[in-house]
Amino acid sequence: MRRYRKKPVEVTAVQWTGDNINHLWDVFSAENIYGPTEKNPDWLIITTLEGDMRANVGDWIIKGVKGELYPCKPDVFAETYEPVPAVTWGTY
């Protein structure tokens, strides 16, 4: 059986803190992120390519390589992603 490795890809990601919905909407637009509501203040609904998915406080919202959104649990995010160093002019 062959094994495969993910290609290195840069993504945009923001962690849902429970009080940063406006920032999420600014980064990703409000079209695919629903909530929070008074009844359910600790989770959002994210419209993904696979259908609607729930994102809990602490989850990361990721914009994939084709512009798709999806939630990711914090432990999986930490194992899969690392910050991209900032590029400053003259350092290349």
pLDDT in tens, 28-75: 999 999 999 999 999 999 999 999 999 999 999 999 989 999 999 999
Structural domains in the chain (count): 1
| pTM higher than the cut 0.85 | yes
Has residue 3 been placed in a domain?
Answer: no
- For residue 30, the enclosing domain spans 12-80
Has residue 7 been placed in a domain?
Answer: no
Question: Which DSSP string corresponds to 36-89?
Answer: --SS-TTEEEEEETTEEEEEETTPEEEE-TTS-EEEE-HHHHHHH--PPPPP-T
Residue 92 pLDDT > 60, yes or no?
no
Has residue 88 been placed in a domain?
Answer: no
